[in-house]
A and B are shown apart, each in its own frame.
Chain A
């Protein structure tokens, strides 16, 4: 079974704090993704990584950065947390494909509240 784990299920931080969200997958997947999910807005892609040390901006990268030093680990960093970053954060991983699409496997999510 594919397993994607996230470091925290619930997190409460103060405005201006630097926040680290960690994601680990155990299936040797090349691709990893960070999304946020908000009511009425659905799943929105923040950043993704094709492979180690590679990263690409998604649809809403402002206020976020990422790090992928090892294949199994993908970190999302909120440089200075703001209240509008209160959300459910979801990590996903997938094997790489060129012509054929492959499913993404999601972690359990981190519910982040910024006060």
Chain B
């Protein structure tokens, strides 16, 4: 069964304090790993897709990396506007077209 876990559950950072969020997964035949940002009361906003171990993607202060068992979302010098819940999802070969979502990491960046 495909599974996704995320850690930590919640993270508080000072503005400018870099850190990483973890997404660990077990999946048969990874077809893609996806990162989303979700603000309270809104729909998830797509950030990155990663397909194979060693792949990296960057966008502003965010950088996503992928290994065979986990993905990291690195946040460099975060700002208060980076506060959100970050969701990780995988699509594997056994679940058809569907995603398995992790529970998310709730990030707070304090000024």
Binding site for B on A (CB under 8 A): 4, 31, 33, 42-43, 45, 48, 50, 56, 58, 88, 90, 92, 94, 96-97, 99-109, 111
A105–B47 Cα distance when bound, in Å, is 10
Residue of B nearest to A10 (CB): B41
A42-B104 contact in complex given A31-B97, A102-B49, A103-B34, C-beta closer than 8 Å: yes
List B contacts of A104 (CB < 8 A): 34, 46, 99
Please tell me if the beta carbons of B43 and A107 are within 8 angstroms of each other in the complex. Answer: yes
Please tell me if the beta carbons of A45 and B103 are within 8 angstroms of each other in the complex. Answer: no
A42-B44 contact in complex given A96-B97, A101-B31, A103-B49, C-beta closer than 8 Å: no
* CB pairs A–B below 8 angstroms (28 shown): A4-B43, A42-B101, A42-B102, A43-B44, A43-B101, A45-B98, A48-B97, A58-B98, A90-B43, A90-B44, A92-B43, A96-B97, A97-B31, A100-B31, A100-B32, A100-B51, A101-B34, A102-B32, A103-B34, A104-B46, A105-B46, A106-B36, A106-B43, A106-B44, A106-B45, A109-B41, A109-B43, A111-B41
**Closest Cβ–Cβ distance, residue B6 to chain A (whole Å):** 10
| Interface of B (DSSP majority class) | loop
How many chain B residues touch A (CB < 8 A): the figure is 22
List A contacts of B99 (CB < 8 A): 45, 104
14 extra interchain contacts, Cβ-Cβ under 8 A, other than A94-B97, A104-B99?
A4-B43, A31-B97, A42-B101, A42-B103, A90-B43, A96-B97, A97-B31, A100-B32, A101-B91, A103-B34, A103-B46, A104-B46, A107-B43, A109-B41
